[in-house]
Structure 1
Amino acid sequence: MATREATWAYRDDHDDFARTFYRRFGDGVVSSIGVGTYLGDPTDERDDAYHDAIVTALDGGVNVLDTAINYRHQRSERVVGRALADADVDREAVVVATKGGFVPFDGERPENPGAYVQSEYVDTGIVDADALVSGQHCIAPEFLDDQLDRSLDNLGLDTVDLYYVHNPETQLAEHSRAEVYDQLEAAFERLEERAAAGDLKHYGVATWEAFRVPESHDSYLSLPEVVERARSAAKSVGNTATHFRAIQLPFNVFMADAFSVAAHDGADGPQSALWFAHEAGLDVFTSASIMQGRLAEEMPESVEGKLDGETRAQRALNFARSAPGVTCSLVGTGSAEHAEENVDAGRYEPLGAEAFDAVFE
């Protein structure tokens, strides 16, 4: 797993970035740009392109790799593991994050997805059919146990640095908010046990809508309540402190709700997800930082003019990592050329606090 000594040594070996490029994560440091692995077809050719991109990023100064067991039908996890083994970098210098929640296929989409889920997960007892939402999502402790084991095998690792419960708001399609909080607490208890066993170092929640929508929204989950459930989970299994460390959510020029929507109760009233996370000591990893390539094509001139970077994609990345409380902004990196461009974004300073706030005035 990533260690304090190795991550700080990695930073020292890559000292040609702008001042705030590396940021604290636990007792170590991580690059404020990370590699995402969501996009792309499930093909050998795409695997090879991802491999080269990840190796390029690791060699260049990026030490955050983000994936999920369902990304590209488990291929993304497997190529992350292969690239990490092949790169000239100390494994302990790299933070590897993955996720569990969506039932994954294996290598490719089966002809009959429903039959695959039934035979692979329901008939084997890994998943109770009643625990599946929309036939594809589950956060029951036994399922997450199985998924974490498979992820460790795919990645070729003994420990994952950050394990997310993936899009728990999916459960709201069939369960009440109170029931989903109870489900999360049960999931957190199991992850606390796995942390104590050394299988993961930290855990968190990766969301798409839950933390950046108003309380009235059907997908809303309260971040303060989720944090409280994590604390209760740690206490119930006998851990002295929770291993709940991070959240992941979309943030970019066009999707700035995590900063602008005050939907979470803080000490002084409602706060945005970013501000609440910052004050609660949580790390924030942003997804969709260039909006799956859209921001490389267009960006509001009033915002772009305030950002540094040689390319529009670099400027979009620098906007995402300018937000208060953001530890790292993730970006899909499907080629070595894109990896080099993304790494080079870190040679420019992000916006300062006053300049960032001015964007929203």
Structure 2
Amino acid sequence: MATSSGTWGYRDRFGDRFGRTYFRRFGPGVVSSVGAGTYLGDPTDAVDDRYREALSTALANGVNLVDTASNYRCGRSERVVGEALADSGVDRESVVVASKAGFLPFDGERPADPSRYVRETFVDTGLVDPADLANGSHTIAPEFLDAMLDRSLEATGLETLDCYYVHNPETQLAVRDRDAVYDRLEAAFETLEARRAAGDVGVYGVASWEAFRVPADHDAHLDLAAVLARAERAAETVGAGDRAGEDGDGGDGDGVAHGFRAVQLPFNVRMADAFTVAAHDADADDGPVSALEFCHREGLSVFASASIGQGELAREGAIPDDVAARLAGDTPAQRALNFARSAPAVTAALVGCGSVDHVRENVAAGTFDPLGASAFDAVFE
């Protein structure tokens, strides 16, 4: 797993090549504030090859954060991440690898009959109770998360995943009420606390699409304060508090007893709801706060997905001129990344790495300084 000495040593290899705060604290050490995402692309050998080369390039040139999921590209992305890391020559202890589970994954390709595949692979085997499913494809039941974590470890070939997310829990709101989803999250967190105690996971979190950036009255809303409270209760149940002060997260003297340390959500210059929508109970006199403000106050790391809008913000003119003028970077993609990296609580902006050329462009964004806090706030005035 990633370690303090490994990640700091990785940072030191690059000297002053990168701009201010390019490497940021996470877990026991530091991560690059540009991370390699593996979501996009067809589940084919040709795309695997491109990803493998692009990830190796990223790891060699200043990116020590890789994000994937058990269902990305029908499970191929996790496998390619493990292969690229093994072949890169970069020490495992230098790299933070994150994955996630929640959606039922295919195995290498989309089956001709997805419904039959789900039934035979997950339901008939007893791995998934149909009553736990939302939209026929999503569950965060403890038994499923346990099995998917094992699958992720096997696919990547790693002994430990540095961060493991519960993937899009708001999907469950389609079939059950909000309190029931919080209950299911607590049970999921108990599972991940137990796996953290076993050394299979460094820390954990929630990766969402809508849950944390929509208003409180939206059907997909989940309150970060309630989610965090459930993590605290899960840690108490599993006995994680007894481990506070030991090595690893919560063992660096900060007194954190639970392993809930990361939130992944979409954030970019055109999708800035996580900064502008006050929807989370901060237990403060000034009322609810935005997702980013909540995470900033609670010391949670935010990993911004869709940081260049899945490529849309890489086009000339896609970023409003008045905002683009404030951002450093030679290309629209670099300016978009630097906007995401400038937001409070954002530890890293995740961006796809489907080609070597894109990787080099994205990594170069880190040679420019992000906006300071006042300059970032001014964008919204």
Q: TM-score range by the shorter chain?
A: over 0.9
Which of the residues 345, 356, 372 maps onto 1:325? 345
Secondary structure of the structure 2 residue equivalent to 1:220: coil
Q: Is the 8 A contact 2:27 2:203 kept in 1?
A: no
Whole-angstrom CA distance in 2 between matches of 1:277 and 1:338: 30
Q: Is the 8 A contact 2:2 2:28 kept in 1?
A: no
Which of the residues 251, 255, 265 maps onto 1:249? 265
Whole-angstrom CA distance in 2 between matches of 1:204 and 1:216: 23
Provide structure 2 residue ranges, at least 5 long, that are not aligned to the other structure: 242-256
Q: Supply the AA of the counterpart residue of 1:185.
A: E
User: 1:210-263 deviations in whole A, cap 9, x for unaligned?
Assistant: 000100000000000000000000000111111111000000000000000011
Whole-angstrom CA distance in 2 between matches of 1:277 and 1:324: 8
Secondary structure of the structure 2 residue equivalent to 1:118: helix
Whole-angstrom CA distance in 1 between matches of 2:159 and 2:117: 28
Correspondence for 1:288: 306
Correspondence for 1:44: 45
Measured after TM superposition, the shift of residue 265 of structure 1 is 1.3
Whole-angstrom CA distance in 2 between matches of 1:17 and 1:187: 38
Secondary structure of the structure 2 residue equivalent to 1:152: helix
Secondary structure of the structure 1 residue equivalent to 2:279: strand
Give every structure 1 segment of 4 or more consecutive aligned residues whose post-TM-superposition deviation is greater than 3 Å: none
Which of the residues 264, 286, 294 maps onto 1:276? 294
Measured after TM superposition, the shift of residue 63 of structure 1 is 0.3
Provide structure 1 residue ranges, at least 5 long, that are not aligned to the other structure: none
Secondary structure of the structure 1 residue equivalent to 2:220: coil
Measured after TM superposition, the shift of residue 26 of structure 1 is 2.4
Secondary structure of the structure 1 residue equivalent to 2:263: strand
Whole-angstrom CA distance in 2 between matches of 1:123 and 1:301: 55
User: 1:248-296 deviations in whole A, cap 9, x for unaligned?
Assistant: 0000000000000011111232110001001101000000000000001
Correspondence for 1:88: 89
Correspondence for 2:250: none
Answering whether residue 377 of structure 2 is matched by residue 357 of structure 1, we say: yes
Q: Supply the AA of the counterpart residue of 1:195.
A: R
Whole-angstrom CA distance in 2 between matches of 1:258 and 1:41: 29
Correspondence for 1:312: 332
Measured after TM superposition, the shift of residue 27 of structure 1 is 2.7
Correspondence for 2:230: 229
Whole-angstrom CA distance in 2 between matches of 1:189 and 1:219: 23
Correspondence for 2:115: 114
Residues 1-361 of structure 1 correspond to what in structure 2 (within 5 A)? 1-15=1-15, 16-240=17-241, 241-266=257-282, 267-268=284-285, 269-297=287-315, 298-361=318-381
Please report the TM-score for the alignment, with normalisation by the length of structure 2: 0.94
User: 1:52-91 deviations in whole A, cap 9, x for unaligned?
Assistant: 1100000000100000010000000000000000102111
Count of paired positions: 361
Whole-angstrom CA distance in 1 between matches of 2:359 and 2:85: 15
Measured after TM superposition, the shift of residue 19 of structure 1 is 1.7
Secondary structure of the structure 2 residue equivalent to 1:137: coil
Q: Is the 8 A contact 2:20 2:370 kept in 1?
A: no
Q: Supply the AA of the counterpart residue of 1:105.
A: F
Measured after TM superposition, the shift of residue 14 of structure 1 is 1.3
Percent of aligned pairs with the same residue? 65
Secondary structure of the structure 2 residue equivalent to 1:61: coil
Whole-angstrom CA distance in 1 between matches of 2:167 and 2:340: 21
